[in-house]
Amino acid sequence: MSAALAVLWKDLLSEWRSRDRVISMLLFSLLVVVVLHFALPPDAGSTLRAGTAGLLWVAYVFAAVLGMNRSFALELENEALSGLALAPADRGYVYLGKAAASFVLLAAVQAATAFAFALAFDVALLPVAARFAGIAALGGLGLSAIGTLFAAVAVRTRQREVMLPLLLLPVLVPLLLGAVRATAALLDGDGIGAPLRLLAVSDAIYLIVSFVLFDFVLDE
Amino acid sequence: MTLAIAARGLEKRFGRVHALRGIDLEVPRGTTLAVLGPNGAGKSTLLRLLAGLSRASAGSLLVGEADPARARASDRRRVRAAIGYLGHATFLYPDLTARENLLFAARLHGVADARARADALLAQQGLEGAADRLARSFSRGMAQRLAIARSLVHDPAIVLLDEPFTGLDPAAGAALELELRRMHQEGRTLVLVTHELGRARGLADAAIVLARGRVVHRAATLAELDPLALEAGFRRGLERTA
């Protein structure tokens, strides 16, 4: 477990010094919100409201993909990825450290994006802020969990910027279904139990599978 | 004689390119092996196989008591804990200071008193004054010294060094030579990849010369580490490469 904490500390400290990952994620997700705001007709009314949750999660997914790519770009400089591969700890803990750092950064971006989204689309997120934060955290956890695994796979390929979304997006379908339905139900004042369960199960599967497979992913 | 490293018929292919062919190797525990050869001979590939960073295409390999790339996960972890590896790249994080880089490596390797170990290594490499500077601001030579410290942070029994003298000024080179002698006296096993025949002769108990992925000369004893024989072997390697 100390290896996971070491990787988490190293990733967050590096990010604190450079801030390049969180800034690029944040700018990108805010741009998505702005583009969606102007792309959708102003008189969309109830149709738009039904799709609000989906639009928000589109922004989150794009930001997460960008962040994951950069997370492992850090490990390519000076071939630090080989340094991680040589650690005697279970590589699953290295994975947990990387995923936890991505989760923390994504959570910060999610919070800022949600605020911008509420303003741009006149969505009343404040009254349901605590429950929305829970859904966003569960979704962010799943995005970080499976995104970290696939980013580690993609980083050794030539077209890594393209490869990550190609690998990741199809696998994200259950997570997105759960996250979008839970968010939509919350905004409509409906029960969120069923989609939340789907979200939690997706997270658990992503985490367990990634923890086990990361050992092979780090091999050359 | 207990072997620290034993390889039989080791091969590595990248597609149709044979980087290593039929390498047989025995490195007794506590000895230093120099791996010599011209560029492209397969020296770094061999070192990566020994470190477990790459998987052999054929042949058998034991480092310590297990194959670093093929053994059970728990055995591979034990082998990794015994290996210190310095490659061409430094493995350093540019946005961490020198001390933070060593602290991270020490924590990753589960070193008990990481801070004390990091400070001791910084002092050993003459980097105490630069301990709180970001690694990105380091010259090539300083980064190499820090990378050497990083590779030794967990006090490994087997040390694999790929061109460790690269980028070092004469004083730092001499200090590293002393450090390698000290590690040898402590009973560590060293594998030293180098182009420098003089350094290899001064530090090694045995040497091999690689060319085009094959061993073209072998000096198994100190007596066989004769300068003329080594040079002839190296020249043979150059001719094969040409």
How does DSSP classify residue B240? H
Q: How many CB pairs under 8 A join A and B?
A: 84
Q: Which fold has domain B1-80+158-164+194-242?
A: Rossmann fold (3.40.50)
Q: Residues in chain B whose beta carbon is closer than 8 A to a beta carbon of chain A?
A: 48, 51-55, 69, 73, 77-78, 80-81, 83, 85, 87-96, 100, 104-105, 107-110, 134, 150, 154
User: What's the CA gap between B192 and B214, in Å, rounded?
Assistant: 17
Is B89–A2 a contact, with Cβ atoms under 8 angstroms apart?
no
Distance from CA of A211 to the nearest CA of B (A): 14
Where is average pLDDT lowest: A5-14, A145-154, B166-175? B166-175
Residue B44's pLDDT is 92
Question: Considering CB atoms only, which of A82, A89, A215 is closest to B108?
Answer: A89
Which residue in the set A5, A85, A87 is minimally distant from B109, CB to CB? A87
Using CB atoms, pick whichever of A10, A82, A87 lies closest to residue B87.
Answer: A82
C-alpha to C-alpha distance for A60 and A65, rounded to whole angstroms: 9
Nearest residue, CB atoms, B110 vs list A88, A94, A219: A88
Tokens of B115: 């801070």
pLDDT confidence of residue A103: 97
- What's the rounded Cα separation, in Å, for the pair B151 and B157? 11
Alpha-carbon distance of A179 to A198, in angstroms, equals 8
> How far off is chain A from B133, nearest CA to CA, in Å?
13
The confidence score (pLDDT) of residue A49 equals 60
CA-based torsion, A116, A120, A121, A122: positive or negative? positive
CA distance A34 to B197: 64
Residues 6 or more apart whose CB falls under 8 angstroms from that of A214 comprise: A91, A92, A94, A95, A149, A152
- Distance from the B230 Cα atom to the nearest Cα atom in chain A, whole angstroms: 32
Q: What is d(CA A126, CA A117) in angstroms, rounded to the nearest whole number?
A: 12
Picking from A38-47, A112-121, B85-94, B123-132, which range would have the lowest pLDDT averaged per residue?
A38-47
Measured distance CA(A133)–CA(A125) in Å, rounded: 10
Nearest CB neighbour to A215, from listed B54, B73, B110: B73
| CB-CB neighbors (< 8 A) of B150 in chain A | 83
Q: What is the spatial distance between Cα A203 and Cα A188, in angstroms, rounded to a whole number?
A: 24
Chain A residues touching residue B92 (CB < 8 angstroms): 78, 80
For chain B, give every domain's residue range. 1-80+158-164+194-242
Which three-class secondary structure state does DSSP give residue B139?
A: coil
Residue B167 burial by Cβ neighbours in a 10 Å radius (0-12, 13-18, 19+): middle
Q: Do B93 and A14 touch (CB under 8 A)?
A: yes
Mutation for B interface: A17, A86, A90, A219, most B CBs within 10 A: A86
What pLDDT score does A125 carry?
A: 85
Task: Please determine, for residue B226, whether its predicted confidence score (pLDDT) is greater than 80.
Answer: no
Return the residue matching tokens 């290899």: B200
- Interval B204-224: pLDDT, tens: 889 998 888 888 888 877 667
Q: A120 falls in which pLDDT band (50, 70, 90)?
A: confident
| Sheet with B58-63, edge to edge strand ranges | B17-28, B3-14, B58-63
Q: How confident is the model at residue B179 (pLDDT cuts 50, 70, 90)?
A: confident
Q: Name chain A contacts of B69, Cβ cutoff 8 Å.
A: 219
Q: What is the secondary structure of chain A as a DSSP string?
A: -HHHHHHHHHHHHHHHHH-HHHHHHHHHHHHHHHHHHHHS-TT-HHHHHHHHHHHHHHHHHHHHHHHHHHHHHHHHGGGHHHHHHT-SS-HHHHHHHHHHHHHHHHHHHHHHHHHHHHHHHT---GGGHHHHHHHHHHHHHHHHHHHHHHHHHHTTSTTHHHHHHHHHHHHTHHHHHHHHHHHHHHHHT---HHHHHHHHHHHHHHHHHHHHHHHHHT--
pTM of the predicted protein model? 0.89
Name which of A182, A184, A104 is nearest A140 in CA terms.
A104
Inter-chain touch B95–A89, beta carbons under 8 Å? no
- Of A173, A59, A177, A189, the C-alpha closest to A118 is A59
A189 vs A184: CA distance, rounded Å: 9
Residue A50 has pLDDT above 70, yes or no: no
Residue B171 reports pLDDT greater than 80: yes
Q: Which two tokens stand for residue A123?
A: 């969505």
Give B56's contacts (C-beta < 8 A, 6+ positions apart): B10, B11, B12, B20, B49, B69
Are the CB atoms for B129 and A107 separated by under 8 Å? no
Give the pLDDT confidence of B3-13 residue by residue, as tens digits. 899 999 999 99
Backbone angles phi, psi at B11, to 5 degrees: -130, 150
Q: Do B89 and A87 touch (CB under 8 A)?
A: no
